[in-house]
Amino acid sequence: MKVKLRNPDREVETSGNRKVRDILRELDLDPDTVLVIRDRELLMREDHVTEGDLVEIRPVISGGAIKCRRCGGAAVVEIRRHNAAFCRGCFLHHVREQVKRAIKAYAMFGPEDRVLVAVSGGKDSLGLWDVLLNLGYRVTGLYLGLGIGQYSHGSAEVARRFAEDRRATLLEVDLAQTYGFDVPTAGRRGSRSTCAVCGLSKRYVFNRAALEHGFDVVATGHNLDDEAATLLGNTLRWQTEYIARQFPVLPAAEGMVRKVKPLHRLSELETAAYAFLRRIDYVVEECPLVAGNTQLRYKGAMNGLEAGSPGTKAQFFLGYLDRGAPLFRSEERAKLRECERCGQPTTGRFCAFCRARAQILGERLGPPPADREVAVELSEEVLPAEIYGGAMP
Amino acid sequence: MKVKLRNPDREVETSGNRKVRDILRELDLDPDTVLVIRDRELLMREDHVTEGDLVEIRPVISGGAIKCRRCGGAAVVEIRRHNAAFCRGCFLHHVREQVKRAIKAYAMFGPEDRVLVAVSGGKDSLGLWDVLLNLGYRVTGLYLGLGIGQYSHGSAEVARRFAEDRRATLLEVDLAQTYGFDVPTAGRRGSRSTCAVCGLSKRYVFNRAALEHGFDVVATGHNLDDEAATLLGNTLRWQTEYIARQFPVLPAAEGMVRKVKPLHRLSELETAAYAFLRRIDYVVEECPLVAGNTQLRYKGAMNGLEAGSPGTKAQFFLGYLDRGAPLFRSEERAKLRECERCGQPTTGRFCAFCRARAQILGERLGPPPADREVAVELSEEVLPAEIYGGAMP
């Protein structure tokens, strides 16, 4: 197999059927700083490349032949959807401007607010923390220990070092110590998928910790790619209530602290390039439990469309905020009340976290609530009866 | 390269970098009767297969090992999203039931209505004409000559033979003879893409012919894949007005005959299998001008998602009709008035067809109307000024 490197222009031979991630490791390339392209299609880290494929590795951080749009100096980062390139300094400025613009446009928080950043140890959350510290906000990190073996140990280490280097405060919560289960256990027991119960636990713990420690707002590192993929998934199923709630700011409500996504205007490549250029040591590995995750399929579909037409992701998500969201306002969730177990807000008797936890730990919560969530798989939703509108012919 | 045929289970060796369409031709396989799969991804006819790839060709029309869900006989067609298989007779029944269901659900037309089917010579339009004749409706075909060389000649021949065999009436309009331009010329001159001006011409001519010949309704062969791809494109851009108008029936209005899509519940593989099993001789080739068409990119993205989760297309489009469409009702187009040139309905002074035609023929229509449509390319829509909300930093 030939691997063509665009800049510098050299070809590398490898053999056999291999994963993109392994080829990049061998070439000592950071997967977050390059586009890997075969036949005008972007490849993901888990994709396979076989004998006979010609693969182009196109650096996001290029050699400097292109000029910075802002200062005219040698550019190091190219952003196709903006048809622009920037030098290091102007790129960092660009990222900060995008974050400032997002904070201002949605009145996310002000200089007096106490902001809690949800820290995973990846490029997005550490990059966000870094930008917010740099802009002078009052920011504290919160790391949630999920108990995913070496992956979690590494993430915690990285988060601690980041905080130490910057003399920032890092709070830590361990899911197993505090709530009696870890994510791998939750994935094996209970009815939810691993990713579903992990997401649920994060939302719950971050909200609860923010309330208990008196924070005004929780900021998460969701980037444009995350938001576009989530919106695609919600739209493919026309989950109008979820679509209505997918917004860069969710206002505070009874028992719910305000949630904000200051990176929603920046692509995954931009946040990766930011972390790289700021020399942030972050966890590059994907979570080992994420394989086959539907979110990754949606990202794959969006990447395919973006490759054919740069700007598709931004147009989809920012276009939704501009023209789509107003149409979904009426679909927002019903009134919240207090969970009878933990007091956190919920639409039913017990919140989803307490229900999941009881299921995982084999406890009883009392009679099952009437509105129990059912995990509906995509392929189950078109049932025979639905095809024929009732009885079979 | 090895090509694995699933049923019967034999492998075929070929070599070099080749198109899927050429491999299928060599194996004497009709591309509309098989799924071509590489690494759990569906390949399109124009995709390339290279040395070292293992490609599975999975017949839609299988060998009969699986039982028909309706009668228990040997099945010949498998439909993954329904997790079902049918014998020939029950599959034809299934297709007719889906068409009957669509006609009834949207009150498309009744037994007394005069229906004009837009005939291209492909599987969908001929299949639709066949089903409607079979169900006893009063149907006439209309073939529009687009002037695309051998492709148009072949399509016209196929449509004429189909009509002759069934003693059905086929009307014909030649774009060049009647309106002074053909589609290849229109694509070279004027500001619209070839596919855009072709679609515009079809909508215009079919509507005008239906009015002039006293038809009650125009039926087109758009299938589920067409509708899902169009909806994806419209949604990615949040073109709310287009989304609002994408419905299986568009009611008649001043100067606009009713438009219906009776195949919208059937996938492309189902309409292809129907045409094949009914031994309809149809044009298998794609239009030679369609290469790079964005619609094909959207179909590719939907096929990728469908492969990972069968039922995605149906859930997306039928879910839109059910839960999405009501939210877009308010976005429908403004009032129509008469085109000052041809009298057909339009929102401006001159209709889009007359504007395109004048541009192609180098004629003047009078002062340019204020609401002139501008062809906006996807990549042009995120402009530098838009990134920074005005002046550059």
Biggest CA pair distance of chain B: 71
A235 with B238: Cβ contact below 8 A: no
**Residue A77: beta bridge partners?**
A86
Q: What are phi and psi of B268, to 5 degrees?
A: -60, -35
DSSP state of B43: P
**Three-state SS at B5:** strand
**Cβ separation B236–A51 shorter than 8 A:** no
List Cβ neighbours of A174 (8 Å cut-off, separation of 6 or more).
A144, A145, A147
What are φ and ψ of residue A218, in 5° steps?
Answer: -105, 125
Among the partner residues B51, B328, B392, nearest to A70 by beta-carbon distance? B392
Who contacts A281 (Cβ-Cβ below 8 Å, separation ≥6)? A158, A161, A162
Which chain A residues contact residue B331 at CB under 8 A?
327
Three-state secondary structure readout of B71-121:
CCCECCEEEHHHCEEECHHHHHHHHHHHHHHHHHHCCCCCCCCEEEEEECC
Tell me phi and psi for residue A22, to 5 degrees.
-75, -40
Segment among A136-140, A295-299, B116-120, B345-349 with least mean pLDDT: B345-349
Amino acid occupying residue B326: P
Highest mean pLDDT among A45-49, A292-296, B110-114: B110-114
Verify whether the Cβ–Cβ distance B315 to A392 is below 8 Å. no
Best B387, B388, B392 member to test A by mutation, with max A CBs in 10 Å, is B387
> By CB neighbour count within 10 A (0-12 exposed, 13-18 middle, 19+ buried), where does B370 fall?
exposed
Average pLDDT over residues A27-44: 72
User: How many interchain CB pairs under 8 A, A with B?
Assistant: 143
Best of B100, B305, B316, B329 to substitute, by most chain A Cβ atoms within 10 angstroms, is B305
Nearest CA in chain B to A39: B48
Say what the pLDDT of residue B381 is: 27
Contact (Cβ atoms closer than 8 angstroms) between residue B348 and residue B336: no
Q: What is the pLDDT of residues B324-341, one digit of tens each?
A: 999 998 776 667 889 999
- Cβ of B294 within 8 Å of Cβ of A310? The answer is no
Percent of chain A with pLDDT over 90: 55
Q: What distance, in Å, lies between the first and last C-alpha atoms of chain B?
A: 54
Interchain contact, B323 vs A238, CB within 8 Å:
yes
Subunit contact B50:A48, Cβ cutoff 8 A: no
B293 contacts in chain A (CB < 8 Å): none
Å between A368 CA and nearest CA of chain B = 28
Give the separation between CA B172 and CA B209, rounded to whole angstroms. 10
Helices A294-308 & A312-319, crossing angle to 10 degrees? Answer: 120
Is the pLDDT at B3 greater than 80, yes or no? Answer: no
Cβ-Cβ contacts under 8 Å, B270 against chain A: none
Reported as a single tens digit per residue, the pLDDT across B371-383 is 433 332 222 222 2
Spatial distance between the Cα atoms of B162 and B120, rounded to a whole number of angstroms? 12
pLDDT tens digits for range A312-362: 999 999 999 999 999 998 776 667 889 999 988 888 899 889 998 998 998
Q: How far is CA A160 from CA A152, A175, A213, A251, in A?
A: 12, 17, 19, 30
Task: Please tell me which residue, B6 or B87, carries the higher pLDDT value.
Answer: B87
**pTM passes above 0.90:** no
Least trusted range by pLDDT, from A27-31, A74-78, A293-297, B22-26? A27-31
Round to the nearest angstrom and report the end-to-end CA distance of chain A. 54
Using an 8 Å CB-CB cutoff, list chain A residues near B40: none
Nearest to A327 among B50, B300, B328 (CB): B328
User: What are B46's two structure tokens?
Assistant: 């124009």
Closest CA of chain A from B82, distance in Å: 7
DSSP assignment letter at B181:
-
pLDDT number for residue B34: 75
| HSE-up (13 A, CA, CB side) for residue A288 | 12
Which residues face B32 on adjacent strands? none
Count Cα neighbours of B20 within 13 Å in the Cβ-side half-sphere: 20
Asked if A268 and A223 count as a contact pair (C-beta separation under 8 A), the reply is yes
Of the candidates B52, B331, B378, the beta carbon closest to that of A52 is on B52
Partners of B98 on chain A (C-beta within 8 Å) are 387
d(CA A189, CA A201): 15
**Which residues in chain B have their CB less than 8 angstroms from residue A312's CB?**
236, 378
- 3-state SS string for A169-232: CEEEEEHHHHHCCCHHHHHHCCCCCHHHHHHHHHHHHHHHHHHHCCCCEEECCCCHHHHHHHHH
Task: Find the range with the poorest average confidence among A298-307, B197-206, B217-226, B345-354.
Answer: B345-354
Give the orientation angle of helix A294-308 with respect to helix A224-236, to 10 degrees: 110
Map tokens 């086959």 to a residue. A292
Contact, B32 vs B269, CB < 8 A? yes
Lowest mean pLDDT among A49-63, A238-252, A315-329, B95-109: A49-63
Cβ–Cβ below 8 Å for A384 and B84:
yes
Interchain contact, A381 vs B331, CB within 8 Å: no
* Interface touch A48/B39, C-beta < 8 Å: yes
CB B308 within 8 A of CB A293: no
pLDDT of A5 higher than 90: no
What pairing do the DSSP bridges indicate for beta strands A217-219 and A2-5? unpaired
Measuring CA to CA, which residue among B270, B227, B249, B238 is closest to residue B84?
B270
Contacts of A19-27 with C-beta under 8 Å, sequence gap 24+, read A19/A45, A19/A46, A19/A47, A19/A48, A19/A49, A20/A44, A20/A45, A20/A46, A20/A47, A20/A48, A20/A49, A21/A45, A21/A46, A23/A49, A23/A55, A24/A57, A27/A3, A27/A57
Q: Are the Cβ atoms of A235 and B389 closer than 8 angstroms? A: no
- Dist CA B31 CA B13 (whole Å): 19
Q: What is the DSSP letter of A81?
A: G
In contact, B102 and B264? CB cutoff 8 Å: yes
Judged by CB atoms closer than 8 Å, whether chains meet at A316 and B52 is answered as no
Shortest CA gap A386–chain B (Å):
10
Instruction: Give the model's pLDDT for residue A381.
Output: 27
Counting Cα atoms < 13 Å in the Cβ hemisphere of A162 gives: 32
Q: Measured between alpha carbons, how far is residue B20 from residues B14, B24, B170 in Å?
A: 12, 6, 34
Distance CA B183, CA B181 (A): 7
Sequence-separated (6 or more) residues with CB below 8 Å from residue A347? A333, A334, A335, A336, A337, A371
